[in-house]
Structure 1
Amino acid sequence: MDPRRARALPVPAEAQVDARVFMLGGDTFRALRVIVDATGYDLRQARDIVYALVYDIEVPSGN
């Protein structure tokens, strides 16, 4: 896991908010599902993104 890699992976802003809420609530699986569904990224990329969101590493917004 390397949340810094998420800086190169655009994610829609709404998906970022939803995934962050799930992560802060302790539901990692749902957070991963939100990112995968919104972006089509693989689980490794999704994991990097959800942890970046928790650690306040900026993730670019994308459509």
Structure 2
Amino acid sequence: MGLGEKVKLAAAKVSGKGKEAAGEAAGNDRLKAEGKTEHAKAELKQAADKAKGIFKKH
């Protein structure tokens, strides 16, 4: 994963947390769920990349 992709994933995580917080504050369950989903997707992609890196080293 290149630097650009890492930045995009970090931005998606932050954006997801922001949407989640905004949904919580506004009482908007749809926005809250959308934020959680966006955050989780970014975390999964990062975890997959880390796992890929571990196997490349060996």
Computing the radius of gyration from Cα coordinates, the structure with the larger value is 2
The higher relative CO (CA closer than 8 Å, separation ≥ 6) is in: 1
Q: TM-score, normalised by structure 2?
A: 0.39
Which has more helix, going by share of residues? 2
TM-score w.r.t. length of structure 1? 0.36
